[in-house]
Structure 1
Amino acid sequence: MAAQPPPAAQGGRLRFWLGVVVGAAFLAVLWFTVDMAAVGALLVRATWPPLALALLAYALDFLLRAWRFRLLLDPGGRDVPFAPTVAPFVASFGISDILPFRLGDVFRVYWFHRRFALPVGHVLGAMVVERVLDLVSILMVAGVALMLVDSTLPAEIVAQFRLVLAVAVIASLAVLLSPALIEGLAGLIERKLPFAAAAKLAETARAVARAVRGSGGPKRIAGMVLLSFALWLLESLVMLGAWVSLGGSVTEGLRPLVAFAFSTLGTLVPALPGHFGSYEFFGMLSYRAVGVGAEQATATILLAHLMLWLPTALFALGWLAAARTGSPLRLLRAG
Structure 2
Amino acid sequence: MTREHRISLLKMLPGLAISAFFLWLTFRGFHLSDFAALRLAAPLWLVGVLAFSVAGYTTRCYRSWLMVRSVKAKFGATARVFMTSLAANNILPLRIGDVMRIFTYAGDLNATPSTILSTVILEKLLDVLTLAVLFATTLHFGGAVSPHMRLLAKAGIGISGGGLLVMVLGARILEPWVKRLFAGTENARLAKLEHWILLALECVRQNGVLGSLWLVICSFVAWVFEGLLYVSAARLVGLHTDAVGPWQAVAQANLSFLIPSSPGGIGPFEAACKDALMRHGATPAASGLFGLMIHVYLLVAITGVGGAMFLAHRMKRSPREPLLEEIDELPAQLP
| Alignment TM-score, normalising by the size of structure 2 | 0.85
Query: Aligned partner of 2:283: which letter?
Result: G
Q: State the secondary structure of the residue aligned to 2:44.
A: helix
Q: Residue 182 of structure 2 corresponds to which residue in structure 1?
A: 189
What is the CA distance between 1:186 and its match in structure 2? 4.2
Aligned residue for 1:209, secondary structure, equals helix
Question: What CA RMSD, in Å, does the superposition of the two structures yield over aligned residues?
Answer: 2.8
Q: Does 1:233 align with 2:224?
A: yes
**Partner amino acid for 1:292?**
A
Residue 145 of structure 2: SS of its match in structure 1?
coil
Letter in 2 for 1:298: G
- Taking a change above 3 Å as real, the CA distance of residues 253 and 17 of structure 1, as seen in their structure-2 partners, is same
> Hey, which bits of structure 1, 4+ residues long, moved more than 4 A?
325-328, 330-334
Shift of 1:182: 5.4
For the 8 Å contact 2:88–2:97, the answer to whether it is kept is yes
Partner residue of 2:211?
Answer: 220
Correspondence for 1:246: 237
Residues 175 and 327 of structure 1: CA distance in aligned 2, closer, same or farther (over 3 Å): farther
Give the aligned partner of residue 201 of structure 1: 193
| Partner in structure 1 of residue 99 of structure 2 | 106
Instruction: Tell me the CA shift for residue 267 of structure 1.
Output: 0.8
| More deviation, 111-120/296-305 | 111-120
Gaps of 5+ in 1: none
Residue among 30, 48, 62 paired with 2:57: 62
Quote how far apart the aligned CAs of 1:311 are.
0.8
Q: In 1, are the aligned partners of 2:87 and 2:304 still within 8 Å (CA)?
A: yes
More divergent stretch after superposition (120-129 vs 102-111): 102-111
Between the aligned partners of 1:328 and 1:50, the Cα distance in structure 2 is 38
CA drift at 1:273: 1.3
User: For the Cα contact (< 8 Å) 1:279–1:305, is it kept in 2?
Assistant: yes
**1:236 partner letter:** G
Shift of 1:249: 6.1
SS of residue in 2 equivalent to 1:5: helix
Structure 2 residue runs without a partner (length 5+): 330-335
Matches within 5 A, 1:46-195: 46-75=41-70, 79-147=72-140, 149-155=141-147, 157-179=149-171, 180-181=173-174, 183-190=176-183, 194-195=186-187
- Name the SS of the counterpart of 2:135 in structure 1: helix
Work out whether residues 55 and 307 of structure 1, in 8 Å CA contact, stay in contact via their aligned partners in 2.
no
Q: How does 1:309-320 map to 2 (within 5 A)?
A: 309-320=299-310
Instruction: Give the residue type in structure 1 aligned to 2:258.
Output: L
Percent sequence identity is 20
